[in-house]
Structure formats: C-alpha cells, structure tokens
C-alpha cells in the first residue's frame, strides 16, 4: 500500500479552537491518519502532519486549506515566522510504495484545486517547482503576505502557477510542493540577545556559506525567556540535527552563551535519530554503538541533543506509522501474521530465508488456483466443467498445507548444516566425522528444495487445468498463481544450485542436477501455456 506524508503549515498558533477545527476537517477524510499537530504561539504557526494513501491525503490537505481560508485572516496575523498564506505551505513527502514523481503529480493536482476551487493563488515549489527560481521556498515567500499582495498582477516574476493573479484578500497565497523528508529543528540559547541568534543563523545557513541543506533564522522567544535558532534541515544526510547542534553550541560558547535546549517540531525518521546518536558518540569519543538497541539509541540522541519534550513514539515517523499500520491490521487481521513473517525474513537471522520464501510463494500460487476453482464450482455457466474443476481441486487443496511444511523443513535443513559446521576438527577422526556430517547436511539441504520444486510443478499442472476452464472473471488470478508457482520452483531450484557444488557424491550430484534442470524446463513450459490461456481469455 502506498503511503505518502503531507505536512501543511498553517498561520495560526495561538487560537487552539481554530487549529482544532482545521485538524478536524483534515481527519474527517476517511483514510487519513494524523501523525502530529504542533502549535507555536511565538511563531503563531501550526504544523500538521498527516499520512495515508495518496488520494485520501490529497483530499485531507485540501479540506484543511479550505477550512483555514475560512478561519484565518492574514491581515490580522502577526508572528515571528515568515508567512504568505493562511495555509502557508503544503509539501508531499514519499514514505513507502510511492515515488517522488508521484508526489509531484499529487502536488500539482492539489495546487490546481486550491487555485480553481478556493480562489487562492498557488506557487509550486521544491521538486514540484515549474520554474527553477521557485525551488527554494524562501524565494517564493519573499516579501511575505504584504509584499506579495503588492506584486501579484504587477510583477510577472510573481505570477502564480495556479489560481487568480491577485492575492486572496484574507487567505493570501499558498506554496504546494514535493520534497525529501525535512526536519524542523530549533536550538534555544540561554540568552535574550536576539542579535546573537541571528548571527549564528546566518553563519550556519547554506545560502550564506554555512552548512549544506540548512535554512536558519534567529528569533526572540519572550515566552521562553530565551532566543532561538530556528532551522529547516532539508536533507539530514548532508547536515543532521547533531551536526548543527554542535556547531551552534560552538558559536554560542565563543560568546559566553550556553545551549538551553533544542526541539524537533513535528516528526523525524528513525534513520536520522540513529545518525545523530552515532555522530554524538563519535564527537564524545564514546564506545561503538554496535549492538545498541533502538530504545537506547533514541534516548541517547535525545539526551545529548537536549531535546525538549521529545517523545519517540509520537515523533519518530516509523514508530508513529506503526499505529497507522495497526488500523489496517485491525481491518485485515491476517496481515499481522504476514507482517510478522516479513519482519523475520528481513532480519539478520539466517532463517527464514530463500527456502521459506519459495514455500510461501508456492502456497500463494496454490491458493489462487483454489480461489478460481471455488469461484467456478456451483456456477450454472460452468456446469459442464464441474467435474474437471473438482478433480483439480481435490489434488490442489491438500498441496497447500504440504507446501507450507516445506517452510519448516528448509529451516531445519539449514540449521543442521550449521550444527555440522560447529563440530570439532582438532583430530583426523574429528575432521572425518565433521566432513561426513557436513556432506549429509548438504544433501538434506538439497533434498528439501527438491521436494518444494517437485510439489510446485505438480501443483502447477492442476492450476493449468483450472485456468483452461475456470471462471473467466477471475482468470487473471490464475495468471498471478502461475507466476507465483513459477517463482516458487525457480527459487527452490536456486537453493539446489547453491548446495550441489559442495557435494562430493558424484552420483547424487548428477541425479539432482538433472532434476533441477527438468524442474526449470517444466516450470517454463507450464508458465508459457498457462499465461497463453489467461491472455486469450482476457482478450476474448
């Protein structure tokens, strides 16, 4: 399932009732998950983070913009943060199963809707920029609401990409774009010297020759009795929060000022937090973090960066998305088991591995063949093929459980080989015993995928029979089942090939080399014939 993140910024951080109504409008859209909502009264700005499938997130962002336009009047708005719109900026960020190009397309569609339906001028920025000079948000927002109000319609360089060529009287203008994951990071200094904060901001921001991928400004925070270096880190791989924290601390200390604390506004990736932990350990010349758990790393990063009110479960996007994914797992409980298997498969443990994956692919192909059979049995239109389908199903259904048992057989075979490799080899007798055990383990490790491949070929034959006469409305599922069984057989044979070269028994090696070749040949034949039937049915 594709998941996109969207982080609209609204020019309101003091009236909680207004922020709540905007959030309510966004989350009323089915499929939208609220990941965060942070308001800052000094900046008079709120950052809302939502995620979900692309269409739902697009609609949620539109509803938020629409509501903000009705509730926020920029003519009455004052705050530390630069702004040009009630909804100031709406970026889309790819999370999983979605490309940057698709995020650009989403941004473009949203920009058109806001311009057409809400009458708000829209400027496309970042990766979605239609003009090179609009890639940088700061350049788009130059002059803020008041300056833009005077220039739109008079200066061709300020012509919006969508919407009217005049500022919206109260809602201003909006920037819509697509970008890499941005971390909003602030460092608070224990002083009221705002000029110091501005000097440090200038020293570290990229455009003034500072650190790469850093945008920074200095602010006075009367409510906190301190000043702040407020930053957008537009690519934490180039400059991380840890690196910029250390640089700010050095510059402040040179003028006799200490860092009071820092804060993450919104969310950040787990990768970025672990990067910070590693960099802080290196700077403090501490021991390697190899083997350190995620919880420890997150806590270490939070402590060394003096992060204020940082809650990993709420602010680390992967941890937050676990709740989002949990809603899908509640709707489709069986996904929990699939997810557990995939996590184990992705781990650094040797089992489950390719053999287990082959068995799961085979069971999937069998199940799809069964599904088409079940959608054919009892249908009047297919009355004359009931016997053929039932006979194929009688063979196919028991094979599903047998195929899944190969999952465990593969793990046992691998573990047996590992145990054989641990046997002592100090004496000639021990070496001989170890060599014999390893040869037997290699043979067993070949026999297991051989059984998987043989079972896959047999199942494939029955799926082919169902494909020839089965329900044409579900025939594409036979095609997917055929591809799954083909992958199962090829994967099983791959596991045979990896073991055969190490076997010294030439008769065994010759026999199973021939069998492996035959499995591949038969799998290709069955795939070609099945897909030919499927394509003919679809075309007809």
pLDDT at residue 254, rounded to an integer = 97
Q: Determine the Cα–Cα distance for residues 22 and 16; give it in Å rounded to an integer.
A: 10
The pLDDT > 90 percentage for the chain reads: 68
Q: What is the 3-state secondary structure (H, E, C) of 288-327?
A: CCCCCCHHHHHHHHHHHCCECCCCHHHHEHHHHHHHHHHH
Does the residue 323 lie in any domain?
Answer: no
Do 422 and 280 belong together in one domain? Answer: no
- At residue 292, does pLDDT exceed 90? no
343 vs 195: which has the higher pLDDT: 195
Q: Rounding to the nearest 10 degrees, give the CA dihedral for residues 277, 282, 286, 292.
A: 40
Which residues make Cβ contacts (< 8 Å) with residue 183, sequence separation at least 6?
232, 233, 236, 241, 264, 266, 268, 272
Residue 22: closest CA among 40, 49, 52: 49
pLDDT band per the 50, 70, 90 thresholds, residue 419: confident
CA distance 164 to 118: 10
Bridging pattern class, strands 122-126 and 183-189: unpaired
Domain boundary residue, one of 159, 178, 197: 178
Give dist(CA 515, CA 540) in Å, integer.
37
**pTM for this entry:** 0.54
- The DSSP bridge partners found for residue 145 are none
Backbone dihedral angles phi then psi of residue 346, each to the nearest 5 degrees: -80, -15
Band the pLDDT of 324: cuts 50, 70, 90: low
Query: Hey, what are 67's tokens?
Result: 């509501």
pLDDT mean across residues, the chain:
90
- Rounded-to-integer distance, Cα 513 and Cα 493, Å: 9
Q: Cis bond leading into 352, ω under 30°?
A: yes
Catalytic residues: 81, 410
Q: What pLDDT, on a 0 to 100 scale, did the predictor assign at position 478?
A: 93
Mean pLDDT of 162-176: 96
Task: Mark whether 522 and 464 lie in a shared domain.
Answer: yes
Residue 290 has pLDDT above 80, yes or no: no
Structure confidence at residue 106 (pLDDT): 97
Q: What is the CATH number of the domain that holds 483?
A: 1.20.120.680
pLDDT of residue 72 exceeding 90, the answer is yes
Residues 9 and 143 grouped into a single domain = yes
User: By three-state DSSP, how is residue 240 classified?
Assistant: coil
Domain housing 401: 332-539
287 shares its domain with 412: no
DSSP lists the bridge partners of residue 45 as 40
Residue 48 resides in a domain: yes
Same domain, 338 and 274: no
Whether residue 125 sits in one domain with residue 171:
yes
Three-class DSSP category at 21: helix
pLDDT classification of 343: cutoffs 50, 70, 90: confident
Q: Does the structure show a pLDDT above 60 at 329?
A: no
Average pLDDT score over residue span 372-398: 92
Do 148 and 170 fall within a single domain? Answer: yes
In a domain, 326, yes or no: no
Contacts within 8 Å (CB) and 24+ apart, 153-156: none
Chosen domain end from 290, 317, 344: 317
Looking at residue 161, what is its pLDDT?
96
In a domain, 50, yes or no: yes
Q: Are residues 171 and 266 in the same domain?
A: no
Residue 473 located in a structural domain: yes
- Does 369 lie in the same domain as 517? yes
Q: Is 233 helix (H, G, I), strand (E, B) or coil?
A: strand
The CATH number that applies at residue 227 is 3.30.70.670
187 — phi, psi (to 5°)? Answer: -120, 125
Report the number of distinct structural domains present in the chain. Answer: 3
Q: How far apart are CA 289 and CA 253, in angstroms?
A: 28
The pLDDT value recorded for residue 288 is 57
Last residue of a domain, one of 262, 293, 317: 317
Q: Is the pLDDT at 253 greater than 70, yes or no?
A: yes
Residues 213 and 298 in one domain: yes
Task: List all residues 6 or more positions away from 319 whose beta carbon is below 8 Å from its beta carbon.
Answer: 270, 312, 313
Asked whether residue 434 carries a pLDDT value surpassing 80, the answer given is yes
Helices (H), 118-216: 137-140, 144-151, 194-204
Question: Residue 356 falls within a domain, yes or no?
Answer: yes
Those residues whose C-beta lies under 8 Å from the C-beta of residue 241, and which sit 6 or more positions away, are 183, 185, 233, 262, 264, 268, 272, 276, 305
User: Which CATH number belongs to the domain containing residue 92 in this structure?
Assistant: 3.30.990.10
* Structure confidence by residue, pLDDT tens digits, 91-111: 999 987 889 999 999 999 999
Q: Can you tell me the mean pLDDT for 313-339?
A: 69
* Residue 322 belongs to some domain of the structure: no
Same domain, 153 and 201: no
Same domain, 377 and 237: no
* Residue 121 belongs to some domain of the structure: yes
Mean pLDDT of the region 479-496 = 95
């Amino acid at each position: 399932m594709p998941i996109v993140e969207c982080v609209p910024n609204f020019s309101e951080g003091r009236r909680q009732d207004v922020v709540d109504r905007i959030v309510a409008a966004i989350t009323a859209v089915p499929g939208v998950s609220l990941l965060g909502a942070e308001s800052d009264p000094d900046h008079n700005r709120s950052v809302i983070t939502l995620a979900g499938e692309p269409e739902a997130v697009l609609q949620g962002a539109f509803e938020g913009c629409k509501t903000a336009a009705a509730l926020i009047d920029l003519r009455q708005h004052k705050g530390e943060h630069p702004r040009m719109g009630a909804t100031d900026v709406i970026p889309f960020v790819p999370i999983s199963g979605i490309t940057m190009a698709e995020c650009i397309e989403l941004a473009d569609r949203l920009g058109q809707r806001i311009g057409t339906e809400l009458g708000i001028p829209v400027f496309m920025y970042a990766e979605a920029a239609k003009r090179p000079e609009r890639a940088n948000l700061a350049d788009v927002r130059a002059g803020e609401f008041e300056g833009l109000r005077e220039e739109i319609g008079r200066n061709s360089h300020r012509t919006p990409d969508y919407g009217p060529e005049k500022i919206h009287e109260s809602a201003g203008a909006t920037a819509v774009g697509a970008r890499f994951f941005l971390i909003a990071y602030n460092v608070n200094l224990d002083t009221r010297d705002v000029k110091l904060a501005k000097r440090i901001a200038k020293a570290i921001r990229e455009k003034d020759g500072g650190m790469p991928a850093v945008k920074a400004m200095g602010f006075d925070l009367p409510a906190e009795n301190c000043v702040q270096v407020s930053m957008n880190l537009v690519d934490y791989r180039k400059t991380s929060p840890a690196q910029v924290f250390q640089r700010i601390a050095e510059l402040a200390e040179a003028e006799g000022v200490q860092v009071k604390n820092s804060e993450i506004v919104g969310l950040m990736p787990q990768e970025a937090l672990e990067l910070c932990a590693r960099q802080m350990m290196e700077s403090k010349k501490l021991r390697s973090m190899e083997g350190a758990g995620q919880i420890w790393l997150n806590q270490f990063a939070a402590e060394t960066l003096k992060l204020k009110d940082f809650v990993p479960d709420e602010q680390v996007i992967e941890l937050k998305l676990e709740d989002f994914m949990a809603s899908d797992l509640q709707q489709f409980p069986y996904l929990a088991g699939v997810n557990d298997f995939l996590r184990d498969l992705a781990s650094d443990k040797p089992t489950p591995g390719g053999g287990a994956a082959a068995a799961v692919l085979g069971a999937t192909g069998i199940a799809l063949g069964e599904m088409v059979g079940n959608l054919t049995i009892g249908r009047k239109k297919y009355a004359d093929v009931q016997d053929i389908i039932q006979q194929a199903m009688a063979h196919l259904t028991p094979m599903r459980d047998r195929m899944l048992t190969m999952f465990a057989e593969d793990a046992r075979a691998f573990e047996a080989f590992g145990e054989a490799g641990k046997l002592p080899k100090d004496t000639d007798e021990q070496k001989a015993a170890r060599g014999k055990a390893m040869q037997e383990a290699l043979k067993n490790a070949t026999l297991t995928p051989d059984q998987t491949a043989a079972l896959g070929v047999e199942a494939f034959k029955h799926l082919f029979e169902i494909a020839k006469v089965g329900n044409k409305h579900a025939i594409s599922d036979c095609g997917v089942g055929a591809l799954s069984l083909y992958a199962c057989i090829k994967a099983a044979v791959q596991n045979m090939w990896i073991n055969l070269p190490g076997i010294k028994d030439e008769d065994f090696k010759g026999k199973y080399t021939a069998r492996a070749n035959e499995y591949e040949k038969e799998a290709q034949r069955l795939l070609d014939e099945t897909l030919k039937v499927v394509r003919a049915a679809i075309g007809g």
